[in-house]
Chains A and B, each alone.
Chain A
Amino acid sequence: MELLAIIGALITLAGSIFLLLGAIGLLRMPDSYNRIQAGTKASTLGTILSFAGILLIMPGWWGKLLVLIISVIITNPVSSHVLARAAHYMGVPLTKTTLVDKYREEEEYIAVKDQNNEST
């Protein structure tokens, strides 16, 4: 029992380290999109590991923790995708070292198509 609690605490600690690295990533990355990348990934695994650690300390909570882990896995990528898409629509600039932006071309193509539809 004691041993399980120690292992659980260590796993929770590992999760917190990932969350900390995610926070550092948020500060160090040069533009919104890279920040979203750092934020999403680190927070997903960090949260899962934290919950897994709590699971070992409190085995009775497994059902609720499983629900939490599933909702984190499903909602985290969706929210980061929506943030990135909204940022791109608003014209938030990409960092200077960016190599390509295929999505810009697609957006322009859609805008032109919409204009044509309106004029006809």
Chain B
Amino acid sequence: MQIKNILVATLIGFIFWVLLNNTLDPLILAIGAGLALILALLFCARCNVFSELKVTPAAFGYTFLYLGVFLVELVKSNLDVASRVITPSLPINPGIVEVKTHLKSRMGRMILANSITLTPGTLTIDIHEDTLYIHWIDVQTEDKQGATEKIVRKFEKYLEKIYG
């Protein structure tokens, strides 16, 4: 299982190396691969963040679906905040609510928390086991169940497939 972590870390490092160097010269690629492997061995010798990653075609498909949903939400979020900012009466209705997540893996929870921060009017303040505390710019429901439905569900159904 540890091999998988090191491999994924190496691959990520190598992809970044190629993107930054912007060349396909075999020598440069070889140096990059060597460096990525050394760094992964040094810094990821005991890490286990990637062992929860599912490497199946379905997971890849859902990753792209998720990215699409995420980008749409990001644009909606910006238009939402922009319209609130330029409305003279400043229509905000803020509060901190709690929501629950079914996601078990730490990686999945991290991505969920980050996605929530980047979507309309919500900002993750803290996460405590399976409870997330969210600052909501326009509180529609204070109830835990209702807030979970509104904020978490749209991402969770994809992340569940990717990270379980």
Contact = CB atoms under 8 A, between A and B. Distances in A.
A89 B8 CA distance: 36
B121 A37 contact: yes
A81 B121 contact: no
Nearest to B19: A63
Interface of B: 16, 18-22, 74-75, 77-78, 81-82, 84-86, 90, 92-98, 113-115, 117-118, 121, 123-126, 128, 131, 133, 135, 137, 139, 142
26 contacts: A24-B86, A36-B123, A36-B135, A37-B121, A40-B123, A41-B74, A41-B77, A42-B82, A44-B74, A44-B78, A45-B77, A60-B22, A64-B19, A64-B20, A64-B22, A67-B20, A78-B114, A84-B123, A97-B94, A99-B95, A100-B139, A100-B142, A101-B95, A101-B96, A102-B133, A103-B125
Interface string A89-112: 000001101111111101000000
Contacts of A60: 22
A103 B115 CA distance: 20
Interface in A64-86: 64, 66-67, 73-74, 76-78, 80-81, 84-85
A73 B158 CA distance: 18
